[in-house]
Each structure stands twice: as structure tokens, then as C-alpha cells.
Amino acid sequence: METLPATGLLSASWLLIALPLAGAAVLLLGGRRTDRWGHLLGTGTVVAAFALGLACTVQLAGLDERSADVDLFTFISTGNLDVGAGLLFDPLSAVFVLLITGVGALIHVYSIGYMAHDPARRRFFAYLNLFVAAMLLLVLGNSYVALYVGWEGVGLASYLLIAFWYTRPAAATAAKKAFIMNRVGDVGLALAIFLMFAQLGTTSYAGVFGEVGLLAGGTVTAMGLLLLLGACGKSGQFPLQAWLPDAMEGPTPVSALIHAATMVTAGVYLIARSAPVFDETPTARTVVLVVGAITLMIGAIVGCAYDDIKKVLAYSTVSQIGYMFLAVGLGPVGYAAGIAHLLAHGFFKAGLFLGAGSVMHAMNDQVDMRRYGGLAKKLPVTFVTFGLGYLALIGFPLLSGWWTKDAIIEAALDRGGASGWLLGGVAVLGAGLTAFYMTRLMLMTFFGRARWEEGVHPHESPPVMTAPMVVLAVGSVLAGFLLVQAFPLQAWLEPVFGEPEEAAHVVAPVTVGLVVFLVMALGIGAAWLFVGRREVPTTAPARVSPVVVAARRGLYADAVNESLFMRPGMWLTRALVWLDNRGVDGVVNGTAAALGGSSSRLGRAQTGFVRSYALGMLGGAVLVAGALVAVTTA
């Protein structure tokens, strides 16, 4: 795809990043003087960025090439390395810009009410602005180096947001865990960039994609696997998924921002943007498929066992991102389907998290669903908006998830062969489990008898919180239809991914839709049998099956990571510290001590008396004479 210099509003697309970044700078540097209006400034910058992004997208749609490059300045110029700071505004980056700024603006508005009584609200909005700015740089950069700068900025901002209530030990621990596990993935991305420069001499998208076909197969595969490692870290995919549910310790708007519209979608964006690389390596693409399928099931299984409303939604995100990885791992037939599901997911998952925050607001920050019940009548707006998000997530016909998730399942089955049936079967089973755990959440939260703690008086959230929820609920209903039927996303993304191949359906789409609907209905029915018809105890039963125990422990992901990586890493670190202290430092310190002791002892021979020196000279002369005599007689 040819990229032309930007003109008109597109030439000012750098303001998309500058606006929220300036907001963060003013709020952080302005201090308490900005407390009264800081939340308004933070929200205003993101709303302005959304308006500018929408205008740029409209202009982009009118261009023949539908791609514009904005050259800003030289970032690095040393030796053979020449990296320019520039932006690429094309159909793929445009949809991410609209998602990040649009949903991000709604989350900012919601936060005005949710954080109204927090004394550090101004700092919270500064971190939100910093997060949005970093994410926009990530999706707008025209090179892997620019993407990496935004990538690390997102990691920093997420750490600050997850640990916002840092006086809580759980929040501080969760932030550290997220930061460290993300660094593991970041090492993979950094090594991939190093490999690109070493083999191709460039890190720009145009340069890498234009030359990657000339590389050896093993090199391209290594590059693809390293990129995948980076994507797994940021998107919470197997085996780096354990940090994502713990990130729920941050304020609920953070959960919505990280899990719906921004951070967790970065890995999907990385793989989709790197499509020319993965198209050259079937091995790496197959690994993407496997990672997506495994993570899809992990999230769905664990989500069935948790009682914490936010953690159920968190594992739902893990599972849904797995669907997106599965889609983009299918190659050209799945890229558009994966991005469409990502966009639809941004609406209904953000709405669900904001709805969970509204429930917590009404229940004195209680997150245990066993302490809810009967909230449908007390929180009518929250119930309706949350309910629409729930229906969209489980793939109820004609709602957003139905349009996008079924398309992924069809693409997986169309792969054909044993792998196609296996991947399609996993995706269908995941849909049934999604219907089960989300129906369980709905029943435990909004139906049945009230199980509230004493002193709790549920009440609806203020309009500043419910209005964004209503907007997101509308998106939960309409986004899928708009993206698949009204304004096909596949056609919009053709300049990036090329014209898709005509699918030879292994199973008729109508049949796929019917099977998925039946499996979804079974999931709903099972939840009704296990939860709806029974009295929900306020304390989780202790005597449960081994499967439930494993699910409650996240399928032992933390235990595996601790056993395979953390403890061996600690032992290795201790061994290296001991080796450094006793080995390296021991040799250095021992040599210094030996020289010091020797010089001290030799110094004692310097008495300062002439008779001592004369005696020494005499002794030396005697030794020399004796040696000469011995030589001559021999």
C-alpha cells in the first residue's frame, strides 16, 4: 500500500497525542491549583482528541490511497541507525484511534462521578490522560521504535493506575505483578526490533514489510515469535495472563480502560499491524492460533468459579482477547473479523465494567456477588445497560457479539481439516461457557433475594455515571451490525490487509449460527439450574470438585509461574550474588589484601639505620660471590 504525505487535518494528527499528553502535564505539574477543574481539563482533552480523530478519519475516507504519513522529526541518527519520529494514519490506526478516544472519553466522563470524593482525583485524571496519549502513540507510530515508545508508556501508565490506591497492599502488589510480567513480553518485542535492524537495517513499517519476504524462513519465524511474546504480555495471553485479573485492584474506570478499549488490545494491534511478517511464517501464525485457543478456554473456565464481579469480567476479557488472537492467527481470512470483535468488545466490555462500578457504588464498594441479589429494581438503569452488555457478550442474536464472534467461529471452521474442527469446537465451547458464567453473574447480582450486608442501601448512580453507560449500551446493540453489515469493516481495512479470499465454507453459516445459539442456550440453562433455582449462600462452599478448586486458583497459573520462573529466578539471583561476593569480589579483595599485607611486611625491612643497609649489602655480596664460585667450580 502506497503511503502519501499527510495534508489538511491529517497533517495535524500529532495533536491526537499532544492533547491528552498536554492535559497530563498540566495536571501533574500544576499541582493542587488544578484540583477544582483538573477533571474537566482531563476529560476535555480526550473529547477534543476524539473529535479530531473523527475528522481525520472522514478526510482519510476521501483519499484514493487511504493512507497518510506525517513526518515529525529525526528521533535517532547514529551510524547505520536512522529512526524518524513519524505517524501513520491509515484505516487500521484510524479505527483504533476512534475506539481509544471514543470509549476513553466516556470513561473519563464516568470517572468524574465515580472519583468525585477521592482527594487525588486530579492525579487520577492526569494518569488517565497519560495512558490515552501513550496508547495513541502506540497505534499511530509509523515504525516499530515509535510503537515501542508508546508500548512502554502504556506499561508505565498502567502501573500508576493499577497502584493508584497504593496504600492498599493488594493494589501495590498487583501493579508490581503487572509491571514485571509485562516486562517479560517487552523483552520479546525489543529483541524483535533488534532483529529487524540487524537483518534489514530499518525498523519502519514500510521498510520491514517491503523486505521481510527476502529473509530466511527461520529468521522470520523467530521475528514472529518474539513479536507474539510481546503481544502476550500486553494482552494477558497464555502464558502471561495471570497479571490481568489482579489489575482489578485499581479503580473501576481503570479496569474499563485497560480491559476494554486500550491496553489489552495492544497485542492484537501488534499482530494485525505485523500481518506481512506473520504471513511469511506459517509456524508463528500457528502458535498465535494455539495461544488464542488455550487462553480462550482458560478465561472461560476460570470465569465460571469466581465470585468477585470484577474478576469474572477480567477473565471474560482474557477469554475474549483469546478469540481475537484466534482470529488474527487465521491470517487474511480472520484479520477483519478479529478487529471487528475487538471494536464491538470495546463497547460491551466497557459498559459491563462501568456497570460493575455502578453496582459497587451502590453497595459500598462490595465486589462479592454473594452479597448482592435483587438489585434489578434498585438500579434500573444499571440493570438495563448491564443486561444489554451481557447479551452482546454472550452472542445473543442481532446484538454486537453475535455478529462478530460467529464470524470468528466460521473462519476457524473454514480452515478445514482436523485443526479447523478443533479450533472451531474450542470457540463454540467457549461461547457456551461464556453464556454460563455471565448468566451466573446476572442471576447472582440482579435477581433472587437481597443478600446485602447490614447498613447497605442500594441506589442508582448519578447521571454523570449512567449517561456513558447508556451510550455504551447502544454501542453494544448496534456496533456489530454497523461493522459487519452497514459499513463493512472488511472493506475499510482492505488497503491494509488486502482483498480477502473468498471463503469456502466447510459448514454453512446458518448451521454454525444455529449450533452456537444452541450451545449458548445450554450455558444459560445450566446457569439457571445451578444458580437461578437455588438459594445462593453468602459464603462460597468449601466442599467443591477439584475442577472448581483449580478454577478458583486461576488454573494454578500463579503457582506454575512461581515454580518455573520466580523461584528458579530467585535462586539464580542469589547464586549470582554469592558468586559475585565470594568469587569476583573475593578475588579482587583478596588480591588487594595480599598486596597490602606484603607491602606492609616489606616495609618493616626499611629501618632507616645505616648499619642495617650495610649488613644487607654485605649479605647480597656474599650471595653473589658464592654463586660465582659455584658456577666456576662446576
Q: Is 337 part of any domain? A: yes
Mean pLDDT (whole number) for 415-436 = 92
Find residue 131's DSSP bridge partners.
none
- At 450-476, the pLDDT tens digits run 888 887 889 899 999 999 999 999 999
Give the pLDDT confidence score for residue 4 in this predicted structure.
58
Instruction: Select from 308, 313, 310, 316 the least CA-distant residue to 370.
Output: 308
Peptide bond before residue 239 is cis, with ω within 30 degrees of 0: yes
What sign results for the dihedral spanned by CA atoms 609, 611, 614, 618? negative
Give the pLDDT confidence score for residue 244 in this predicted structure.
86
Give the pLDDT confidence score for residue 192 in this predicted structure.
95
Which of these ranges, 313-327, 384-398, 483-497, has the smallest mean pLDDT? 483-497
> 291 in helix, strand or coil?
helix
Residue 127 has pLDDT above 70, yes or no: yes
State how far the Cα of 477 lies from the Cα of 402, in Å rounded to an integer.
10
Q: To which residue does cell 466497557 refer?
A: 350
Of 508, 524, 552, the one marking the end of a domain is: 552
Same domain, 450 and 580: no
Mean pLDDT of all residues belonging to the chain: 89
Residue 1 has pLDDT above 60, yes or no: no
Which of these ranges, 77-81, 278-282, 358-362, 458-462, has the smallest mean pLDDT? 77-81
Of 525, 552, 579, the one marking the end of a domain is: 552
Give the pLDDT confidence score for residue 591 in this predicted structure.
85
The answer to whether residues 452 and 372 touch, using CB atoms and an 8 Å cutoff, is yes
Same domain, 606 and 627: yes
Q: What is the DSSP string of 333-373?
A: GTHHHHHHHHHHHHHHHHHHHHHHHHHHHHTTT--BGGG--
> 493 in helix, strand or coil?
coil
Which of these ranges, 142-156, 429-443, 444-458, has the smallest mean pLDDT? 444-458
The answer to whether residues 353 and 441 touch, using CB atoms and an 8 Å cutoff, is no
Q: Is 88 part of any domain? A: no
The answer to whether residues 3 and 90 touch, using CB atoms and an 8 Å cutoff, is yes
Of 529, 552, 575, the one marking the end of a domain is: 552
Mean pLDDT (whole number) for 119-135 = 94
Here the cell at position 86 is 513519524
Same domain, 421 and 306: yes
Of residues 503 and 572, more confidently modeled: 572
Q: Is 221 part of any domain? A: no
State how far the Cα of 585 lies from the Cα of 580, in Å rounded to an integer.
6
What sign results for the dihedral spanned by CA atoms 502, 504, 510, 516? negative
Specify the number of domains making up the chain: 2
> pTM for this one?
0.89
CB atoms within 10 A of CB 21: 21
Q: Is 578 part of any domain? A: yes
Percentage of residues of the chain with pLDDT beyond 70: 98
Q: Is 363 part of any domain? A: yes
When pLDDT is cut at 50, 70 and 90, the band that residue 634 belongs to is low
Find residue 81's DSSP bridge partners.
78
State how far the Cα of 475 lies from the Cα of 472, in Å rounded to an integer.
5
When pLDDT is cut at 50, 70 and 90, the band that residue 355 belongs to is very high
Same domain, 502 and 390: yes
Same domain, 617 and 547: no
Give the pLDDT confidence score for residue 317 in this predicted structure.
92
Q: Is 309 part of any domain? A: yes
Residue 214 has pLDDT above 70, yes or no: yes
Q: Is 445 part of any domain? A: yes
The answer to whether residues 27 and 38 touch, using CB atoms and an 8 Å cutoff, is yes
Same domain, 508 and 568: no
Percentage of residues of the chain with pLDDT beyond 90: 57
Give the pLDDT confidence score for residue 602 in this predicted structure.
73
Mean pLDDT (whole number) for 236-242 = 87
Here the cell at position 268 is 492484537
When pLDDT is cut at 50, 70 and 90, the band that residue 71 belongs to is confident
Give the pLDDT confidence score for residue 5 in this predicted structure.
66
Same domain, 584 and 532: no
Mean pLDDT (whole number) for 529-551 = 84
Same domain, 543 and 575: no
State how far the Cα of 133 lies from the Cα of 68, in Å rounded to an integer.
20
State how far the Cα of 578 lies from the Cα of 146, in Å rounded to an integer.
40
* 441 Cα distance to chain centroid: 24
Of residues 7 and 428, more confidently modeled: 428
Residue 365 has pLDDT above 70, yes or no: yes
Same domain, 500 and 568: no
Residue 2 has pLDDT above 60, yes or no: no
When pLDDT is cut at 50, 70 and 90, the band that residue 585 belongs to is confident
Ramachandran quadrant class, 66 (left: phi over 0; alpha: psi -120 to 50; beta: rest)? left
Residue 581 has pLDDT above 60, yes or no: yes
Of residues 634 and 350, more confidently modeled: 350
Same domain, 619 and 482: no
Same domain, 323 and 467: yes
- At 287-320, the pLDDT tens digits run 999 999 999 999 999 999 899 999 999 999 999 9
Residue 505 has pLDDT above 90, yes or no: no
Enclosing domain of residue 576: 562-633
Same domain, 435 and 318: yes
When pLDDT is cut at 50, 70 and 90, the band that residue 609 belongs to is confident
Give the pLDDT confidence score for residue 500 in this predicted structure.
75
Q: Is 588 part of any domain? A: yes
The answer to whether residues 61 and 89 touch, using CB atoms and an 8 Å cutoff, is no
